[in-house]
Structure 1
Amino acid sequence: MADEWEDSPGVVSGDCHNQGRSFGAREWKNSTRGGRRDDGYNNRRQNDYNNRGGKGYNNREENGYNNRRDDGYNRRDGQNSRRENGSYNSGQDDLVIYVPQQMVGKVIGRGGSKIKELQDESGARISIDKSSHGGDASVNIKGDKESQERAKALIEELTGDQQSQSSSSYSSSRHTTKTSNEASSRAPDHSSSAPAAPATGEPDILDFGDFDWTKANEEHTKFQEERWKNLKPMKKDFYVELPEVRDLTDETIDQIRASKNNIECRRVFEKEGEVFKVPNPITAFHQAFHNYPEILDEIKKAGFAEPSPIQCQAWPILLSGRDMIGIAQTGTGKTLAFLLPAMIHIDGQPVARDQKAGPNVLIMAPTRELAQQIAKEVSKYEYRNIKAVCVYGGGSRQEQMAKVDKGVDIVIATPGRLNDLVNCGSLNVTDVTYLVLDEADRMLDMGFEPQIRKTLLDVRPDRQTVMTSATWPQGVRRLAQSYMCDPIQVCVGSLDLAATHTVKQTIIICRDEEKTDILREFFDTMKKDDKVIVFFMRKTRVDDLSSELALAGVQCQSIHGGRDQLDREQALEDIKTGDVKILLATDVASRGIDIEDITYVFNYDFPRDIEEYVHRVGRTGRAGRTGESISLISRGDWALAKELIAILEEASQEIPDELYSMAERYQVWKKKKEEERDDVRSYGGGSGRYGGGGRGGGRGGGRRDKW
């Protein structure tokens, strides 16, 4: 019987957001699919298959296709669902919608971050049953009617599924029962122009009647104007362009940008017919800071020879008071690009610093390590007695509040602790005039968008906003459109993903059980001056291997989100100083941590997406050095093989033949699955090996192809 790679069914809820890759746990099986269905599942399909009563948005009563709500729906082996006994929604019926199986990961998000975000934004509780229902997964939404509708709208927006099927869950006594023979007598009719009217109850669609939206918008605008009408005066433009910069020809400007790693500049939301010239790039520090000799002295002390590519274009833009989006890989000088203009901005405000209720500059970062690193960078540059404080979860809340109460000019914060201090009244952000969202893509990946949006409600709307990111995904674009004013995007290098060319990328195809032996062999070959970061997907594996190495007498450190803050700081300090040569880490160390002399990155577990791979690789080969990454690829990673090949080809790296073969087999498997899913949706049957909940489908018995 052939080995096969198979997703086991499982219910996923927002409470699982810290469980790493536990969603729909994968497992190897030597079996056919025929034995997978438990009694509760088959009972659902046979005895109560056609119980379709009740209300619901897009409730498809015709032939009962996709309406499968019954007492057994959320039961496994006789266990009642929480819906029957729980009091989460105070008696409100559950709303169930169906999304394609391939969209489940998008709804869950990395580590459960997206499903948690959806719950936070909607106020509803969301759980996902990954068991196949006509090729779709069911999403169970608990809460009051408004929160259910908000959650449904958010999920449909996320998946792009404007015709997702939904139903309200009712007890079996409300169902109009039909036999399975009646249900299977004909195929479902998809040509119906509209869904049938609900059998009972009110529709789930909120009816606003003659609500005057124009008036409501006008009142909201008036409220905002009233709230911010007494703002303190602010200055944003501090740039005086030297003639040597102003008189550059277009040809020279293009040559400068091309020589600085192909800098590209554009207005992100440019309106047709408008003419706007992006400030010319500078090539020397004095061209940006000739009016600020103290800044030039600090740069000279730091030993920099010339501005980095992002700094060449960012400084003229930010000193001019414009909003900017900086797209560049980590380790390219982005921090200094927004930090020096921030210091000039603070000192140049018409209102004295001691007359303000809070800081002038707010910098938000995704992780405490990155926040601390930014704070450390601020401390290197002394300018007009500017004070900064770093606030983050895991640090002493009382100490952080005490520092804020003494008065600060710059606050560097993680979103969670920032919201905490704002909510308790310790930190006032209404005087923030210069806002930085550092590593914005990472913050969105980690599910911080609700906290970001909540904080920005209290920041004056005419502020100057800077956003940095290593990538330019849709979520970052949406955030920029909501909270930035006509921003200029500065992109260093290509927007296409690319790993640094100073790193040799080695790929090893292996089985999961071989990984530990390969890693131990690598440790045995390390030289005296080598330093390595080993990346894992699970915190438990980091802890286990750390203990094993300690017992074997090998010195190492570890860092992940579950460790105390002091331990995390000590781990970074030990690897930086060279007290240890091995750092075991989860992806908390993949961005924003600047350790210049890392010689190796070892991917014990390949990351979930190719963007994270690029960021991991970027931990070595920094500051003009070379490095090497070693990645262990097992069959569970085959979905990323094609994208990985593109990264390796772009960097002219050696690619194993097995990786090409893996990518080809995955594409064949994927195409086959899509065809099977289309067949199930078209005919509503054939559960067999792959169908789920189709009518009239047998148990099936075919064998899945080998991986």
Structure 2
Amino acid sequence: MEAYLRFMEENPTVGLVGDEEEIYEYDAEGNIIATEKKTIDPLPPVDHSLVNYAKFTKNFYVEHPDISALSETGVVELLKKLNIRLSGVSPPRPVCSFAHLNLDNALMEAIRKAGYTQPMPIQAAAVPAALAGRDIVGIAKTGSGKTVAFLWPMITHIMAQHELKLGDGPIGIICVPTRELALQIYSEAKKLTKIYNLSVVCAYGGGSMWEQQKACEAGCEILVCTPGRLIDLVKKKSTNLRRVTFLVFDEADKMFNLGFEPQVRSIADHVRPDRQALLFSATFKGRIERLARDILTDPIRIVQGEVGEANEDITQIVEIFNRWEEKWDWLTRNIVRFTAEGSVLIFVTRKAHSVEVAEKLKGRDLKVLLLHGDMHQSERNTVIHKFKHHEAPILVATDVASRGLDIPSIHNVVNYEVARDIDTHTHRVGRTGRAGVKGTAYTLFVANRDPPDFAAHLVRHLELSSQTVPPRLFEIANKCPWFVENRARAAGTEANPRAGIGFQPREKKDLRVGLGSSYSGFHSSTQPMGGPATVAASSAHQTDRLAAMKAAFASQYNRRFVSAGVESTKYTHPELLGASNKTSEVSGDSSDFRVPQTPETPSAPEVKRRRSRWD
């Protein structure tokens, strides 16, 4: 009681502007947007040289003899089979069995009870690297099992550290973008840590600040949190980051999209420099790669499949309609069949439309739940709990449910409205087909209403996932200029019939430069981090379009505009001749490029010319 009264004295407005209530505004389409009130200042910088950190151990991995006996060819074949690419300095070899990980017997028993029989691809590569104490950038499709890929090593890491003392903060922190994902990871962590009597706390915006403060002050080994709430707890001195030696950022791209980049960086800077840090995400873009450079030390990059690729355990079907109303007719024809197969998740982009769809389904005597961003957190938790426990077979939701919702019973996902971008679409369809279970995702596309640009991205997305692309979707995608140009370039045909003088196709550039080259054999990449990208040999003869146009202009200029009294013109910048080698002569010295001379003709009497402005 005294603690509660003291808390109320320190926070006199706690019941007025609710810590548990989030203030929202809406855009023109009725979608929820956060107000400026939600902005949270980053943590102040820390001078780690003034802090006396205790030493700790982070390398617990002993390679199994079966893995050591593999030849380099065998390792390459295993990586190919797992569809995994490794890069970095001396990455540990992937494993084939849980027995190869040499985990604690109690943890192995917990893994067995959870229903795991063999490591999934991302686990086979990431767990050995994490147990070895290496920093990791893990890029894997949704539903790939990456959550336990960092939970298992984290538990091993924590059990080797000294026990917490009064006033100590957590040893392991898992920072995630959304409450739903935080609750999912918290639930998984509680199951695994129960046998070790470890304390796990979940802290997120929208939950009770007072309860979360008390839980952190009581001490916890693992803290699962969102960036904003973690910063609030540190500023209120309810916890600290001095004991943190295992730091995880899951779905960092989503945190950046939500505007949490300064907060994420400040959290990383607040933790001791020699900690172990892991970044996991389904997508990986430029800003995330820069973050990896800044907060990771000699990281191992693990990529399963293509970046942003969808789960191949999911069958994706795109239905094309001419009118918006046809989608409702299609849904009513199929909804009974979907519910007979399992739970159904229907995604609607706009909040107002989600309410409309849910009410119309209820009008057909169907049990339907609704989830959108304007609901209080306790209401969201109740809805998710009911859906998980099969109290209703249908959930209509906005994109608040596109990430972190892990319900194995979801057999069908329906994108009633297309997503705003392909990354969100990837996470939407990833709500089914979890952990190797098959599922189906339907996308309802209105030809004259939904953007051709999304159709173009969707075509590429389906092709990367080995899915069938409807011919009509391809026709719609062809209305997008960049899609047509890319297809033409890939086919080796004229990409742009209106290109200027001297146009040549652009060379292919390695967009993945910076975290090591892709795995080749078992030896680590010899290319340093941040080194130049290697251009494929097939594109070595190509030149940059801009350079080619400059060269063509220079060539045309030198042919047509000749100053008075000059018999010939010689190039003084041979690099400009890259696109016009066919019209240039190369003498014995390869650096001496000359313009072909015209045949000599009898010289005419010299005529005095007016001085040209080209002289």
Instruction: Confirm whether residue 364 of structure 1 aligns to residue 175 of structure 2.
Output: yes
- Residue 87 of structure 2 corresponds to 266
Contact 1:362/1:411 (8 A) holds in 2: yes
SS of aligned partner of 2:174 = strand
How do 1:536-615 residues align onto structure 2 when only pairs under 5 Å count?
A: 536-615=348-427
- Residue 613 of structure 2 corresponds to none
| Cα pair distance change 1:408/1:636, threshold 3 Å | same
d(CA) in 2 for partners of 1:498, 1:529: 22
- Residue 187 of structure 2 corresponds to 376
| Cα pair distance change 1:652/1:295, threshold 3 Å | closer
Measured after TM superposition, the shift of residue 17 of structure 1 is: 8.9
2:90 pairs with one of 277, 283, 287 = 277
Stretch moving more, 661-670 or 531-540: 661-670
d(CA) in 2 for partners of 1:420, 1:120: 8
Measured after TM superposition, the shift of residue 466 of structure 1 is: 0.7
* Residues 252-291 of structure 1 deviation map (CA, whole Å, 9 limit, x = unaligned): 111222222x111112xxxxxxxx321112222122125x
| Cα pair distance change 1:247/1:663, threshold 3 Å | same
Instruction: Confirm whether residue 297 of structure 1 aligns to residue 109 of structure 2.
Output: yes
Measured after TM superposition, the shift of residue 584 of structure 1 is: 0.6
Contact 2:228/2:263 (8 A) holds in 1: yes
* Residues 338-378 of structure 1 deviation map (CA, whole Å, 9 limit, x = unaligned): 111111111212x3322662000010111111111111111
d(CA) in 1 for partners of 2:412, 2:258: 26
SS of aligned partner of 1:503 = strand
How do 1:256-405 residues align onto structure 2 when only pairs under 5 Å count?
A: 256-260=78-82, 262-267=83-88, 276-290=89-103, 292-349=104-161, 351-354=162-165, 357-381=168-192, 382-405=194-217
| Cα pair distance change 1:315/1:117, threshold 3 Å | farther
Measured after TM superposition, the shift of residue 500 of structure 1 is: 2.3
Measured after TM superposition, the shift of residue 533 of structure 1 is: 0.8
d(CA) in 2 for partners of 1:21, 1:314: 43
Contact 1:503/1:628 (8 A) holds in 2: yes
1:251 pairs with one of 45, 68, 73 = 73
Measured after TM superposition, the shift of residue 329 of structure 1 is: 1.0
2:50 pairs with one of 192, 216, 227 = 227
Contact 1:606/1:637 (8 A) holds in 2: no
d(CA) in 2 for partners of 1:494, 1:367: 24
Instruction: Confirm whether residue 515 of structure 1 aligns to residue 327 of structure 2.
Output: yes
d(CA) in 1 for partners of 2:269, 2:290: 16
d(CA) in 1 for partners of 2:288, 2:182: 20
- Residue 523 of structure 2 corresponds to none
Measured after TM superposition, the shift of residue 649 of structure 1 is: 3.2
SS of aligned partner of 1:236 = coil
| Cα pair distance change 1:385/1:514, threshold 3 Å | same
For the aligned residues, what is the CA RMSD?
Answer: 3.2
SS of aligned partner of 2:302 = strand
What amino acid is aligned across from residue 265 of structure 1 in structure 2? L
- Residue 460 of structure 2 corresponds to 646
- Relative to the length of structure 1, the TM-score reads 0.61
| Cα pair distance change 1:669/1:413, threshold 3 Å | closer
1:423 pairs with one of 220, 229, 235 = 235
SS of aligned partner of 1:354 = coil
What amino acid is aligned across from residue 100 of structure 2 in structure 1? Q
SS of aligned partner of 1:325 = strand
Measured after TM superposition, the shift of residue 651 of structure 1 is: 4.0
Stretch moving more, 469-478 or 240-249: 240-249
Contact 1:310/1:334 (8 A) holds in 2: yes
Contact 2:142/2:311 (8 A) holds in 1: no
What amino acid is aligned across from residue 373 of structure 1 in structure 2? Q
d(CA) in 1 for partners of 2:313, 2:124: 22
- Residue 172 of structure 1 corresponds to none
d(CA) in 2 for partners of 1:345, 1:445: 31
d(CA) in 2 for partners of 1:621, 1:496: 16
Kindly report structure 1 stretches of 4+ aligned residues shifted beyond 6 Å. Answer: 110-113, 115-122, 668-671
Contact 1:116/1:447 (8 A) holds in 2: no
1:657 pairs with one of 457, 466, 471 = 471
Q: Which has the larger radius of gyration?
A: 2
Contact 2:167/2:217 (8 A) holds in 1: no
What amino acid is aligned across from residue 359 of structure 1 in structure 2? P
* Residues 374-424 of structure 1 deviation map (CA, whole Å, 9 limit, x = unaligned): 111111123432110001112111111111111100000011211211121
| Cα pair distance change 1:624/1:118, threshold 3 Å | closer
- Residue 259 of structure 2 corresponds to 447
Contact 2:432/2:440 (8 A) holds in 1: yes
SS of aligned partner of 2:441 = strand
* Residues 50-88 of structure 1 deviation map (CA, whole Å, 9 limit, x = unaligned): xxxxxxxxxxxxxxxxxxxxxxxxxxxxxxxxxxxxxxx
* Residues 621-655 of structure 1 deviation map (CA, whole Å, 9 limit, x = unaligned): 23433322221212332111122122233444443
Contact 1:416/1:451 (8 A) holds in 2: yes
| Cα pair distance change 1:668/1:593, threshold 3 Å | closer
What amino acid is aligned across from residue 458 of structure 2 in structure 1? L
Stretch moving more, 652-661 or 384-393: 652-661
Measured after TM superposition, the shift of residue 463 of structure 1 is: 0.9
| Cα pair distance change 1:18/1:497, threshold 3 Å | farther
Contact 2:135/2:297 (8 A) holds in 1: yes
Measured after TM superposition, the shift of residue 527 of structure 1 is: 4.6
d(CA) in 2 for partners of 1:379, 1:121: 30
What amino acid is aligned across from residue 287 of structure 1 in structure 2? H
| Cα pair distance change 1:652/1:675, threshold 3 Å | closer
- Relative to the length of structure 2, the TM-score reads 0.69
| Cα pair distance change 1:369/1:246, threshold 3 Å | same
d(CA) in 2 for partners of 1:489, 1:387: 30
What amino acid is aligned across from residue 420 of structure 1 in structure 2? D
SS of aligned partner of 1:477 = helix
Contact 2:48/2:272 (8 A) holds in 1: no
d(CA) in 1 for partners of 2:393, 2:301: 39
Measured after TM superposition, the shift of residue 464 of structure 1 is: 0.5
d(CA) in 2 for partners of 1:525, 1:654: 22
What amino acid is aligned across from residue 163 of structure 2 in structure 1? A
d(CA) in 1 for partners of 2:431, 2:362: 24
d(CA) in 1 for partners of 2:294, 2:482: 41
Q: Taking every aligned residue pair, what percent have the same amino acid on both sides? A: 36
| Cα pair distance change 1:643/1:425, threshold 3 Å | same
Instruction: Confirm whether residue 637 of structure 1 aligns to residue 451 of structure 2.
Output: yes
Measured after TM superposition, the shift of residue 245 of structure 1 is: 2.3
